[in-house]
Amino acid sequence: MHIGGARTALYNWLAARHDNGSLVLRIEDTDRERSTEENVEQILDALRWLELDWDEGPVSQASRSEQHEAALQRLLESGAAYRDSATAKDVEAWKAEHGADCGYRGTQVDAADAAVRLRVPDEGETVVEDLIRGPVNFPNRSYDDFVIARGDGSVLYNFAVAVDDAEMGVTDVVRGDDHLSNTPKQLLVLEALGFEAPRYAHLPLLHGPDGRKLSKRHGAASVQELREAGYLPAAVRNYLALLGWGADDDATLIPTDELVRRFQVEDVGKAAAIFDEKKLRWINGRYMRELPLDEYLRVVAAHLGRPADERLRAACEIVQEKAQTLEEVWRLIRFLFEPPVEDEKAWRKTMKDEAPAALEAAREALAGTDDFDPTAVEAALSPLPERLGLKPGRVYQPIRVAISGGTVSPGIFESLAVLGHEESLRRIDAALIRLQA
């Protein structure tokens, strides 16, 4: 599911919850690249992850074909629609003759296999009373008598959604801006059928950092990718809500229940927004830090596909203050579960001069420690800088590189404690051997 679609779903959900369920809304995600069934599965999956619960999920058009057929017959019988065998070329020719701002008007034919077009008036305007934009006027004259059903009888989108909305009793349609110019067509269908129109709210579109349509090359573009990147659903909800909508008191961190309380579609902005992952990262980091340790352990274990054992719990405890995403958690604690991946640059930079002496001293101090909790480790190591006449960093960094392979890790005392007595000594020994070579 595209991130833009996810935001639309979120706004729908917030609006419905804000109104205590008195609104009936419909999820609509128009991803042109995918087939409908695959799309629906994917959407449901994304919505589940985002924890946006709906009584009924997206309804596929196929399941409503009877209503469509009935509505179509009605229009044909009343003369509001007619069969016309004009091709795209014919329409083009008609416009060349009548002017580019003139919509196509066809003539009725008898052929049963001709497409069905809806009659659009020449005069007047169709007005979309948009909750976000106010009234938007579209001259009827500029719209073609558009096709509502193919020659084979299957119906087209603008006809189908209009009928669906009416039949399902949809009261509010909250969807992307790309549907604004389609709305008059749906209004025209509704009017011809004598149905009442729902309220519409057209959301500004979401763009990538370059201002163009959001796509894969901008990093995450789908909910699935957000999930893989290690973001928390609650953080994603918070961030997405802020894309196009701002709380009046400038709040940035807004938990979902508060979002429900404060969000109103009317307050959504009109301008397109750009999806900026940096802010999402920051928000996500805040949510991650506020998680109780048990919960933190649970989500980390689930994301990594590892058992939530004591070691992972200990690792979580020392990394929680640092990581902004679940993926970053693994980058920071990986060395506690697997042999260190040696970063050559880190070695060159750190493992020189007094590093061997510092490591020797550290090894000795640690070897003589019975307890191996952070406090004991710190007690063993903290006298070293002064004794060796070195700045603390000159002592601790080599140890860090020795046990983790790189220059970045959680606190050194905590890291050693989680690694354990034996393994810590083993890694320091290995580093010393390598330094001698």
Partner RNA sequence: GCCGCUAUCGUCUAGGGGACUAGGACGCCGGAUUCUCAGUCCGGAAACCGGGGUUCGAAUCCCCGUAGCGGUACCA
Which residues between 198 and 257 bind RNA (CB under 7 A)?
204-205, 207, 211-213, 242-246, 248, 250, 252
The residue (of 21 and 251) whose beta carbon lies closer to RNA is 251
Residue 409 lies near RNA (rule: CB under 7 A) = yes
Angle, vertex CA 28, rays to CA 302 and CA 265, nearest 5? 90
Residue 393 lies near RNA (rule: CB under 7 A) = yes
Among 65, 67, 171, 182, binds RNA (CB under 7 A): 182
Q: Please report how close the Cβ of residue 156 comes to RNA at its closest, in angstroms.
A: 4
Among 57, 194, 339, 392, binds RNA (CB under 7 A): 392
Number of residues forming the site for RNA (CB under 7 A)? 81
The residue (of 309 and 349) whose beta carbon lies closer to RNA is 349
Q: Please report how close the Cβ of residue 144 comes to RNA at its closest, in angstroms.
A: 6
DSSP string, 107-171: -----TTSEEEE---SSSEEEEEETTTEEEEEEGGGS---EEE-TTSPBPHHHHHHHHHHHHT--
Contact region for RNA (CB under 7 A) — 13-21, 147-155, 335-343, 365-373? Answer: 147-155
Residues 300, 307: Cα–Cα separation, whole Å: 10
Residues 6+ apart with CB under 8 A from 401: 343, 346, 347, 350, 351, 407, 431
Q: Please report how close the Cβ of residue 91 comes to RNA at its closest, in angstroms.
A: 6
Residue 146 lies near RNA (rule: CB under 7 A) = yes
Footprint of RNA on 327-386 (CB under 7 A): none
Amino acid (one-letter) located at 23: L
Residue 40 lies near RNA (rule: CB under 7 A) = no
Residues 349, 360: Cα–Cα separation, whole Å: 18
Among 24, 40, 76, 156, binds RNA (CB under 7 A): 156
Footprint of RNA on 90-119 (CB under 7 A): 91, 95, 100-101, 114-115
Query: How, if at all, do strands 81-84 and 115-118 pair?
Result: antiparallel
Q: How far is CA 287 from the centre of its chain?
A: 16
Footprint of RNA on 270-329 (CB under 7 A): 270-274, 276, 278-279, 281-282, 285-286, 289, 321-324
* Catalytic center residues: 216
From 411, 355, 346, 354, select the one nearest 378 (Cα to Cα). 411
Residues 262, 260: Cα–Cα separation, whole Å: 6
Tracing tokens 């007619």 back to the chain, one arrives at 82
The residue (of 345 and 433) whose beta carbon lies closer to RNA is 345
Residues 133, 124: Cα–Cα separation, whole Å: 20
The residue (of 356 and 385) whose beta carbon lies closer to RNA is 385
The residue (of 251 and 367) whose beta carbon lies closer to RNA is 251
From 338, 346, 294, select the one nearest 320 (Cα to Cα). 294
| End-to-end C-alpha distance for the chain, whole angstroms | 54
Among 37, 41, 122, 178, binds RNA (CB under 7 A): 178
Footprint of RNA on 46-75 (CB under 7 A): 61
Query: Is the separation of the CB atoms in 76 and 112 below 8 Å?
Result: no
Residue 36 lies near RNA (rule: CB under 7 A) = yes
The residue (of 28 and 172) whose beta carbon lies closer to RNA is 28
